[in-house]
Structure 1
Amino acid sequence: MPRRGEPLRKLGFLTIGRFDASDPGPGLEQTLTVIERAEALGFDSVWLRDRHLQPGISSPVAIMAAATQRTSRIELGTAVIPLGLENPLRLAEDLATVDILSGGRINPGVSVGTPMMYDHYKTALYPETHDQENFSKDRVLRLLSCLRGEPVSDFEGTVGIEQFTNYVQPHSAGLADRLWYGGGLSSAIWAGQQGINYLTSSVVSTQDISEGTSPTDFATIQGQQIDAYREHHPSPETARVSQGLVVIPTDSASPDQVRRYREYAASRFERTKSPQGPRGMLFSPDYVGTSDELADQLFEHAGFQRASEIAFALPFTFDEDDYTQIIADMAEQLGPRLGWHGL
């Protein structure tokens, strides 16, 4: 675990891939450029957020496919693909194809549940079945089965000159072991039981916190969820857990950038004071400061102490120059202070 003096296994970041809806090309190209830059800086991974009917990445698998042809080493992940909008068999075909093109570098992160804003477009997505769709964890198990190469058809053989297998093609060995799942305490326990990797983020649910835990103590709640995941995993020593907080180093930032970063964090701070909504969702504060300051804060963070790798989330609304400065400081300043050494 990345406690002070111990190595941080992997360092990455998460991007939303924002673009102008009237001219999406430059924004999509910028995302690919950021991935190339990340590999040059030595990052272990870049993760793509998945957003639908918004000016952000709606097809992370397509972006990863393009990125495989511009990179050779860096891992490419999704955080996360909402499976409510996907057919697990078809998604497995796409993921396996891109994983093979990448040489085995894809880390698909997924989630389940009713898709965001579903009632507004459900008839366009599932015209005849929108009220019967199963949005449970069964979708994850179906995807996992497809990725493992288990049978999905009751026919295997040749028809005329056409050859058919009974499992998804192509099959990419090892891809199922790189599947990730994100969620709260019950999801952490379930992911551990399934042997799936576990993604945490900058939001936790306070519905199932331990007795005596403050409902506003984000770090402790996140730490408890990671502990529960490992307790239920068949191989806790090798289980992969990734933490994703908004962390903005300012070492090489201009005074104007520092001002805007701090204003951004301040504008989002109110939501961290108490749980939000019926599920009691609690948001983490955003971390802004020099790498020395950030390292001190993270080493005291119960979630960070228990994670095996990090994928810091880039803020949604910054400019390209801001992202360039932030990821450079992450790799060159913050990472080494956290015990990470890039390639």
Structure 2
Amino acid sequence: MKKIGYLSFGHYRDIPGSHTPTARDALLQAIQLAQEAERVGVDGAFLRVHHFAPQHSAPFPLLAAMAQATERIELGTGVIDLRYENPLYMAEEAAITDLISGGRLQLGISRGSPEPALRGWEAFGYRTPEGMSVAEMAQQKAHVFREAIRGAGVVQADPQMTGHDGALAIDPLSPGLDERLWWGSGTRASARWVGEQGFNLQSSTLLTEDTGESFDALQAEQIAIYKDAWRQAGHSGEPQVSVSRSIIPLVTDEDHRYFGVRAQAESRDQVGHLEGGLARFGRSYIGEPEKLVEELAADAAVAAADYALVTVPNQLGVGYNARLLESIVTRVAPDLGWR
């Protein structure tokens, strides 16, 4: 059994063919799509978080609204860029959102991805400490955040107000949220760190390294390193892994019109330069359902994952994306043994 979720970037732009010309359209449709995805049997609705771009940014108000509009589907992020976050304020927001959802939050966090802003987190008031990399800055914030949602004391009490001088934790707390934290990893080295720390692992359609191997083989190696590090660290429970894929079953004339010409062009990995180094971008899976079953069955990383997150073209609207997800759930997943 494998969980199936979707990952939406929440793009909005007033261009021909867009069903999300404004931010409000994208936000309201995100709520509606979560409802439709739950109806067709999808397990998770995940939001990509970007800043200084016409996409989803601050996720917690939207996640809380999605929680109120649904009953079963898991709600998550992939990922929140911790460089931009106050870890204690975020701990309060996350706990409140998780309580509203009834414990359905699956929270992906990380250093974040390449972005349009130059050191944008500094505009939010967060400077990288002297001698610390931005990755280390995010890791330090992750430690503070996780300890806070676990109920650790984070500030000294004022005896005049509380009658004691002990430490105070954030309030409210949502028990179990700390076990549903995922770290977005783009390299084998960071995957090892994720396993050592005991986070679940999120790996997307981008790896910020390249060895010449196919994307799925390199990602499968990343997953194996993560699981080995988890075991060696002695963590309890089972490590969980999610991978993202672009999967478009060509079922209707509309599918062929939007994506048919892209099937061949995007059927291979791409390698490019990103942030001063080589990066490998995973291929898209576009084709008739039977063809997708054959191709996805050969994807080593998908086979090793517990959660497959399908990136959705949200600007095509709720109706189109609900049909796309239903095609995956009913015409692709069963033949792969995911259901």
| TM-score bucket (shorter structure) | 0.7 to 0.9
Query: Helix, strand or coil for the counterpart of 2:168?
Result: coil
Asked if the contact 2:83–2:121 (Cα under 8 Å) also holds between the matched residues in 1, the reply is no
1:291 CA displacement = 2.1
Q: Which residue of 1 aligns with 2:199?
A: 196
Contact 1:250 1:329 in 2 (8 A): no
Quick one: distance in 2 between partners of 1:303 and 1:156?
Answer: 51
The letter for the 2-side match of 1:232 is A
Deviation at 1:121, TM superposition (A): 4.4
Any conservation in 2 of the 1:19–1:28 contact (CA below 8 Å)? no
TM-score, normalised to structure 1's length?
0.85
Contact kept, 8 Å, 2:37 with 2:322, in 1: the verdict is no
Which residue of 1 is the match for residue 216 of structure 2? 219
Q: Which amino acid aligns with 1:231?
A: D
Report 1:1-343 matches (<5 A): 7-8=1-2, 10-20=3-13, 23-112=22-111, 116-119=115-118, 121=120, 124-126=123-125, 130=127, 132=129, 135=134, 136=136, 137-155=139-157, 159=161, 166-183=168-185, 184-206=187-209, 209=211, 215-233=212-230, 234=234, 238-251=238-251, 253-254=252-253, 256-264=254-262, 272-277=269-274, 278-315=276-313, 317-341=315-339
Q: What whole-Å deviation, never above 9, does each CA across 1:125-152 have from its counterpart, x for those lacking one?
A: 22xx535486321121111111211111
Stretches of structure 2 that go unaligned for 5 or more consecutive residues are: 15-20
Q: Using a 3 Å threshold, how does the CA distance of structure 1 residues 68 and 150 change in structure 2: closer, same or farther?
A: same
CA contact (8 A) 1:16 1:49 kept: yes
CA distance in 1, matches of 2:149, 2:162: 28
Aligned counterparts of 1:25 and 1:107: Cα–Cα separation in 2: 24
Matches of 1:168 and 1:149 in 2, distance apart? 7
**One-letter identity of the residue aligned with 2:143:** L
Q: Decide whether aligned partners of structure 1 residues 290 and 165 sit closer, same or farther in structure 2, where only a CA change above 3 A counts.
A: farther
d(CA) in 2 for partners of 1:164, 1:117:
44
Determine the C-alpha separation between the residues in 2 that align with 1:35 and 1:165. 39
Deviation at residue 327 of structure 1 after TM alignment: 1.1
Give the direction of change, closer, same or farther, for the CA distance of 1:142–1:50 in structure 2 (3 Å limit): same
For 2:264 and 2:37, the matched residues in 1 are separated by 28
Deviates more, 1:116-125 or 1:91-100: 116-125
Let me know the Cα RMSD of the aligned residues: 2.7
Per-residue deviation, 1:265: 5.2
More off after superposition, 66-75 vs 274-283: 274-283
The one-letter code sitting in structure 2 at the alignment partner of 1:274 is: V
SS at match of 1:109: strand
TM-score after normalising by structure 2: 0.86
* In structure 2, distance between residues paired with 1:165 and 1:44: 39
1:88-133 C-alpha deviation (Å, 9 max, x unpaired) = 111110000010111100011011168723426455322xx53548
Structure 1 pair 122–49 and aligned structure 2 pair: CA distance change class (3 A): closer
Q: Please name the residue that 1:3 is paired with.
A: none
Give the Å deviation of 1:289: 1.3
List per-residue Cα deviations over 1:274-321 (Å, max 9, x = no partner): 343323110011110122211111111110121112111113653444
Residue correspondences, number? 323
Residues 217/294 of structure 1: CA separation in 2 closer, same or farther (3 Å cut): same
Shifted more, 296-305 versus 89-98: the winner is 296-305
What are the Cα deviations for residues 178-220 of structure 1, in whole angstroms up to 9, with x where unaligned?
A: 000011211111111111000011111335x5xxxxx151111
Counterpart-to-counterpart distance in 2, 1:194 and 1:334: 34
C-alpha change, 1:138 and 1:85, in structure 2 (3 Å) is: same
Contact 1:156 1:166 in 2 (8 A): no
How far, CA to CA, are the matches of 1:139 and 1:325 in structure 2? 39
* Alignment CA distance shift 1:59-1:273 (3 Å): closer
In structure 2, distance between residues paired with 1:125 and 1:186: 28
1:13/1:314 contact within 8 Å kept:
yes
CA contact (8 A) 2:32 2:318 kept: no
Contact 1:216–1:274 at 8 Å: present in 2 too?
no
Residues 202 and 122 of structure 1: is their aligned pair in 2 closer, same or farther, counting only changes over 3 Å?
closer
Distance 1:305 1:328 in 2: 21
CA contact (8 A) 1:17 1:28 kept: yes
Determine the C-alpha separation between the residues in 1 that align with 2:338 and 2:331. 10
Q: State the alpha-carbon separation in 2 of the partners of residues 19 and 67 from structure 1.
A: 18
